[in-house]
Chains A and B, each alone.
Chain A
Amino acid sequence: MSAKQSLSSLILGALFGSGLLISGMIHPQKVQNFLDVAGSWDPSLSLVMGGALLMTAIAFPLILKRREPLFAHKFHVPSAKNLDAKLVVGSALFGIGWGLGGFCPGPAIVGLVSGSSASLLFVVSMLLGMALHRTYHDLRSPPT
């Protein structure tokens, strides 16, 4: 990988992580308060998502009109169109975990560097959950 590629990965990660940090999403209680419409509701996270979507909803369609990205030869964009049970069940399980702990993957990764033991315990469990999915996936459709 070229220096341009490596450096841009690092800088984009830093920008993304800074956004998560500044937005307050790295705080699990704030996330839970957003989801707690019947209790101490904090609507801040709708503005995080709204702000992010304001950028992406305008930029993505324009970018995808290009023949190729600036530093690569093709776009890696999901092609699946079907609304299947895996999508719904997976998203439902993710939502339950998100609500119970207040962490989703991005903020948990950023939180690792705060020295928070909760973030560390969550991330290790999340990686285990991802590995379990891989095992489950391979059992159902063995790699050829």
Chain B
Amino acid sequence: MHHFTPVSALIGGLLIGTAASLMLLLKGRIAGISGIIGGLLHPSAGDASWRALFLIGMMTAPLGYLLWTGRLPEITSDVSNRTLIMSGLLVGFGTRLGSGCTSGHGVCGLARRSPRSLVATLTFILSGALAVFVSRHLIGVTP
């Protein structure tokens, strides 16, 4: 097993769930990040500012980390730029075609007992595991 971090994972998850619940209670909106971004790419009147502000709010989290620890969180990736571009295109196109990502389907949709979100979540976890298996163990892109 690799760097299992149950406490921070659970606390982070509870915060995500709290934010998604408050989003529904206060604004009546689903906290699905791909949907929030997608709606901003072709906004309708009066619908853009809450999306932009929510995303800006998300980006303040590393600044909180900076104040707390004195440094920004360090994000490292061991995949090539070509693979990153391909994965970005797939995530962008796929989440819009499938109407959601980990947050919209995985956290909010499952909570609404939506059969569509259950199918979507099982599909992206399975295809994600398959992609990692093929890239790491069959082709051997990363160690």
> Which residue numbers of A lie inside 8 Å of B, CB to CB?
1, 5-6, 8-30, 32-33, 35-45, 47-57, 59-61, 63-64, 66, 68-72, 74-78, 80-83, 86-106, 109-116, 118-119, 121-134, 136-137
Contacts and interface: CB of A to CB of B under 8 A. Distances in A.
Interface of B: 1-6, 8-31, 33-34, 37-38, 41-42, 46, 49-50, 53-65, 72-79, 81, 83-103, 105-116, 119-121, 123-133, 135-137, 142
A12 B26 contact: yes
A93 B90 contact: yes
A54 B61 contact: no
The residue in A32, A75, A82 that gathers the most chain B C-beta atoms within 10 A of its C-beta is A32
Dominant secondary structure at the B interface:
helix
The residue in B12, B81, B142 that gathers the most chain A C-beta atoms within 10 A of its C-beta is B12
Contacts of A25: 12
A131 to B, nearest CB: 6
Given A1-B46, A23-B11, A78 B29 contact: no
A138 B116 CA distance: 23
Dominant secondary structure at the A interface:
helix
A91 B93 contact: no
B83 to A, nearest CB: 6
Nearest to B17: A55
A17 B53 CA distance: 12
A101 B87 contact: yes
Contacts of A10: 53-54, 56-57, 60
A125 to B, nearest CB: 3
A120 B34 CA distance: 16
A47 B9 contact: yes
Contacts of B2: 33, 40-42
Contacts of B21: 55-56, 59-60, 63
A104 B15 contact: no
Contact of B101 (A82, A87, A104): A104
Contacts of B19: 12-13, 15-16, 19
Contact of B37 (A48, A52, A105, A124): A105
Given A77-B30, A91-B119, A98-B128, A129 B57 contact: no
Contacts of A115: 72
A53 B111 contact: yes
Contacts of A66: 25
A120 to B, nearest CB: 10
